[in-house]
Amino acid sequence: MFIKDLLTAPVLGFALALAVSMPAAATATPAAGAAQDTGAEIGKAIEGAADKAAADVSAAAEKAAAEAGKGAQAPAPLAAAAAAEAKSSSTADHSKFEELEIDFKSGPEVTLACLKCHTEAAKQIHKTQHWTWEYTNPDTGQKLGKKHVINNFCTSVKSNNTFCSACHIGYGWADDGFDFSSEANVDCIVCHDTTGTYKKLPGLSGHPNYETMEWPPHSGKFRPPTDLKKIAQNVGPTSRKTCGTCHFYGGGGDAVKHGDLDSSLTNPGRYLDVHMDSEGLNFTCSRCHVTDEHEVSGSRYKPTASDEKGARVPGSLDPRNPTTCVACHGNTPHPDKMAKLNDHTRKLACQTCHIPAYARSTLQTKMSWDWSTAGKLDEQGQRIQLKNSAGKVVYDSKKGTFSYDRYVVPEYQWFNGKVNFTLFGDKVSEDSVVKINEFQGDANDPDARIWPVRVFRGKQMYDKGLQTLAVLHTAGDDDAAFWGNYDWDKAMEVGMHSAGSEYSGEFGFVSTEMSWPITHMVSPKEDALECEDCHSDAGRLAGIEGIYLPARDRMTLIDTIGFAVALLALIGVLIHGGIRAILAKREG
């Protein structure tokens, strides 16, 4: 742009003149410039490498699509799977392995075959959060992870393992008796399948169906037995699809839980995610969630809210979590022409401007969940399901009332990476909104940035006597599971007992909020926020405290006095001039 070009020119041209009055400015500028140049070079190098990789990948993808036979007619998941396969640079073709020439009867049998060569894989998995569903936050000492946290979706894994384990990378976690030291129980396939035919079904404790099975239940549709041999012979690297098998469907369905993660990211366009763009950079999840010894980096339990150290160059011995924008882009990612934007990185997370909204595909994400209305049945005593115009369930006897939205503008708040959870046993009451997790940080905290946040609001069960969030036994074939029996007290008793507590006999509902930093669905730069989205009276950061935000903030007293005096001056000169004009006219 013309103006932007001009902007930098005077700065340089006048440096000499300025040197007299502002030596600090003159000396500081070259240093800042040099730092930026380095950043820019790294950026360019990354871009170059990425471009090349993207070109390779898209060429491979095209080839794969063409080979898929009918070209454009090939169903998307198939094409994706083929692309994933084609881009593999693996030195091993698993379909040639004798060890996999077996008609496997179960998942663990496949795992044992995998472990014959990949001898350390299961041991590595055993150490990961994906396996333990447990994480101790070093800052707070809180025991977190799916095993412990009560959320405001399905609320708790405890007593519901047979269903929840459909997203556990193991086989057979049905109850507390699960053997976490068993190597055979590790599910290699769920992350490494490339056929798209592997599906762990809720109710089977993490197993896929080995026999023909009606799915979804009572649908009249039947799933054939899982072809484990074919799957085992076609394993490959993880992909957006394999990670998405669980992470796109969190909360019980596509797009439900996260909003910035849903099945539209399996093959997203550039608009939806500039990095994962399947015809562009085509990042897999693990491009950012760099994984070593099966330990996947980047955690929502202890996110990296600010990354002061800048780009993490290959070869760096710095052990820090690299799953940040900054890890590649550095802290001054904008070109010199937009240098002012680089100043913003001291206060803002990149995501704040670069993810203007989440749930930007056609899929609606869930915005609220009210359990207090659950359990109503129709006149025949049957389960009720009501749907909205988009076909999404807005009431379900099993679960209560939901609301949904798309193109959701995040909420914004200071966040320094520290999160406090309200866990089982922590006191809660109906008088205030219970923060399932609470982001820490404020304007004075050097580690805090303003983050876009998804806040999920709910109303859920708590034990009135114990004043704690409740564990409800929802899923299962027994006569206590809420989903099927609709008996709150029975389901509470079993649920609370599974958490090691006695049910007080009285339950109620508390309002809850759960928060996620929004970090996926990064828009292309042309869709980033405009200045006035925040620099205005009722902008996106209207509720952010502790900073002076030009155009939002002003001392109203100064404005009132300033404009009043200016107005008086104007009136004064108009009167003065008016009298002169009248007199002049009279004198003619």
Partner 1 sequence: MEKIYIFKRFERFWHWTQALLIITMMITGFEIHGTYSNLGFERAVEWHTLAAWALITLWVFAIFWHFTTGEWKQYVPTTEKVEAMMRYYLTGIFTHAPHPFRVTTLHKHNPLQRLAYLFVKLMINPLIWATGLLYLFYSSWDKWGLGFLNLEWVATAHVIGAFMMLIFFIAHIYLATTGHKPMSHIKAMITGWEEIE
Q: Which residues bind partner 1 (CB under 8 A)?
A: 3-4, 6-7, 10-11, 13-14, 17-18, 22, 24-25, 28, 32, 340, 342-343, 346, 530-532, 535-537, 547-548, 550-555, 558-559, 561-563, 565-566, 569-570, 573, 576-577, 579-580, 583
CA distance 266 to 245: 10
Closer by beta carbon to partner 1, 117 or else 567: 567
**Contact in structure between 288 and 298 (CB atoms under 8 Å):** yes
Closer by beta carbon to partner 1, 390 or else 582: 582
CA distance 360 to 340: 28
Task: Kindly state the smallest distance separating residue 538's Cβ from partner 1, in Å.
Answer: 11
Closer by beta carbon to partner 1, 430 or else 442: 442
CA distance 249 to 300: 16
CA distance 113 to 98: 10
Task: Kindly state the smallest distance separating residue 453's Cβ from partner 1, in Å.
Answer: 24
Task: Kindly state the smallest distance separating residue 356's Cβ from partner 1, in Å.
Answer: 15
Task: Kindly state the smallest distance separating residue 449's Cβ from partner 1, in Å.
Answer: 15
Q: How many CB atoms lie within 10 A of CB 355?
A: 23
Task: Kindly state the smallest distance separating residue 415's Cβ from partner 1, in Å.
Answer: 21
Task: Kindly state the smallest distance separating residue 570's Cβ from partner 1, in Å.
Answer: 5
Tell which residue, 244, 242, 456, has the closest CA to residue 358: 456
Q: Which residues pair with 200 in a beta bridge?
A: 208
Task: Kindly state the smallest distance separating residue 303's Cβ from partner 1, in Å.
Answer: 25
Phi, psi of 340 (to 5 degrees): -60, -30
**Contact in structure between 482 and 398 (CB atoms under 8 Å):** yes
3-state per-residue secondary structure call for 515-552: EEECCCCCCCHHHCCCHHHCCCCCCCCCCCCCCCCECC
The residue assigned the tokens 């439900």 is 256
Closer by beta carbon to partner 1, 24 or else 317: 24
Task: Kindly state the smallest distance separating residue 525's Cβ from partner 1, in Å.
Answer: 14
Closer by beta carbon to partner 1, 506 or else 537: 537
Closer by beta carbon to partner 1, 181 or else 548: 548
CA distance 334 to 313: 18
Paired tokens of 90: 């693996």
Instruction: Give the C-alpha distances (Å, rounded to integers) separating 472 from 203, 252, 424.
Output: 16, 16, 12
Closer by beta carbon to partner 1, 4 or else 118: 4
Closer by beta carbon to partner 1, 13 or else 71: 13
Q: What is the DSSP string of 55-77?
A: HHHHHHHHHHHHHTSSGGGS-HH
